[in-house]
Structure 1
Amino acid sequence: MTTSPQLSVVVPVFNERDNVAPLIHEITAALRGRAPADGGDFEIVYVDDHSRDDTLAVLQQLKAEVPELRVVHHVTQSGQSTAIRNGVKAARGAWIATLDGDGQNDPADIPKLIAERAQAAPEVKLFAGWRVNRQDSGSKRWASKWANAIRSRMLRDDTPDTGCGIKLFEREAFLDLPHFNHMHRYLPALMQRAGWKTVSVPVHHRHRTAGVSKYNNLNRALVGISDLRGVAWLIKRGKVTRVEEV
């Protein structure tokens, strides 16, 4: 590509070698041939979080057949939030679509998010996927239900599902947010803290068909408690000041 694309699809991965190729082909199938404003002018930025399997080698091989693909590699494992941020920093598009690397998000929903953006007000900077029919285990759905209820009560972000990996947001607005580990789970609240509006959009959700989950209910809960308190503190201490040049 000689010019900057309008959309960058950022996908963080860690030990997902069997999910890489199918998901990349689904992304290209969903976006190639569309009008530029509808997502047809795009790049794919994969961020390998220092995988211990051959995920990186698979990505390097795919670059030969997928011209839209770019690959960023973490020299040390740094976590999903850092992978997303580094992918966004490397991205050239003004708008970013994110997907989880496990294949549970459906790339066919990206045009749906773009269509929502086309009819939204300019102050809406985040379109968050909402998994209305989750395909996870009963225990994971139960844990997420309670976590979402507690988060919503504390942060009042009016978002039914902040853990969904598929999102569409403005690159500049995202990079202006405070960065910390696990911040990707609180994007609606952080965007609203910055003075922007957010919209939740129903999307598909699929079973994981390869690889294993990198999280369990216990480690999610333990880190979630301190994260939630920290985000609540940020919101309480935050102040939005609009500026104009005169």
Structure 2
Amino acid sequence: MYEFTIIVPVFNEEENLERVEQELLKYTRIATKKTAVLFVNDGSTDGSQELIEAICNRNEMFSFINFKENRGLSAAIKAGFDTVETPLVGYIDSDLQTAPEDFNLLLEHITHHALVTGVRANRKDSFVKNMSSRIANGIRRAFTHDGMDDTGCPLKVIKTEYAKRIPMFKGLHRFLPAMVMLQNGTVLQVPVQHFPRMAGTAKFGLWNRLLGPLMDCFAYLWMKKKYINYEIKSKG
């Protein structure tokens, strides 16, 4: 029935969820692929789950997964990848600092690539946040040689067959292009809009935006060395 599923990780975002519903509903009316939405509630302790259930009850294209406890963004994305059944999967943050309509820009190119990621043009974040992200992206590129300028952009489209083969660990959401490239898939980055956070609080600080990713680079190098990749020529 659906061709594309948008994963929306949620952790204590009750102030944003009604706007998420409105914006994603508007997007489903203009989407170039028939689109479903999957909330992944990452152990929220506020009223997020009640709002998610209400949204899903009144919109048939919305569904949810509710974690027993907070496990982090990478776990939420991984759970979404494991759950979706559509040929294409994407994700967007519930703070809506990126625009759902920009998924159409990414979907234009997905036929010829395994992953298409947004690049936040004219970012509306603080100086410290922008600089720490720029440094972290530079360090990651030096380790992975993925050529990506902004892997932290929370707007991506991936062919589901590639997404399901990504061996996720905590922090690996920043390495999605590199992990797709390990599968010999091609990746592309496309400029997208960026907006200030309207409500709620950011979940990432200096540690998990800069120092944490540096440590994750070493985990990626180990995984790259050990990664198993094969193609079946024939069966009998």
TM-score (norm 1): 0.91
The SS at the match of 1:85 is helix
The SS at the match of 2:157 is strand
Quick one: which amino acid aligns to residue 62 of structure 1?
A: I
Deviation at 1:68, TM superposition (A): 0.8
% identity of equivalent residues: 28
Partner of 1:47: 40
CA contact (8 A) 1:30 1:111 kept: no
Separation in 2, partners of 1:179, 1:9: 18
Partner of 1:7: 4
The SS at the match of 1:57 is helix
Contiguous gaps of at least 5 residues in structure 2: none
CA contact (8 A) 1:15 1:51 kept: yes
Partner of 1:145: 134
Runs of 4+, deviation exceeding 4 Å: none
TM-score (norm 2): 0.94
Q: How much is the aligned-residue C-alpha RMSD, in angstroms?
A: 1.4
Separation in 2, partners of 1:200, 1:221: 21
Counterparts of residues 220-235 of structure 1 (less than 5 Å): 220-235=209-224
| 1:16 equivalent in alignment to 2:20 | no
Quick one: which amino acid aligns to residue 169 of structure 2?
A: F
- 100-109 or 85-94, which deviates more: 85-94
Quick one: which amino acid aligns to residue 5 of structure 2?
A: S
Q: How many residues align?
A: 235
CA contact (8 A) 1:42 1:93 kept: no
Quick one: which amino acid aligns to residue 221 of structure 1?
A: L
Contiguous gaps of at least 5 residues in structure 1: none
The SS at the match of 1:64 is helix
CA contact (8 A) 1:59 1:71 kept: yes
Quick one: which amino acid aligns to residue 57 of structure 2?
A: A
Deviation at 1:92, TM superposition (A): 2.4
Deviation at 1:233, TM superposition (A): 2.2
The SS at the match of 1:32 is helix
Deviation at 1:24, TM superposition (A): 2.1
Separation in 1, partners of 2:6, 2:77: 10
Separation in 2, partners of 1:241, 1:48: 34
Q: Deviations over 1:166-220 (max 9, x none)?
A: 0000112111111211111100111101111100011111110000001101233
CA contact (8 A) 2:136 2:214 kept: no
Question: Structure 1 pair 152/75, CA: closer, same or farther in 2 (3 Å)?
Answer: same
Separation in 1, partners of 2:131, 2:30: 40
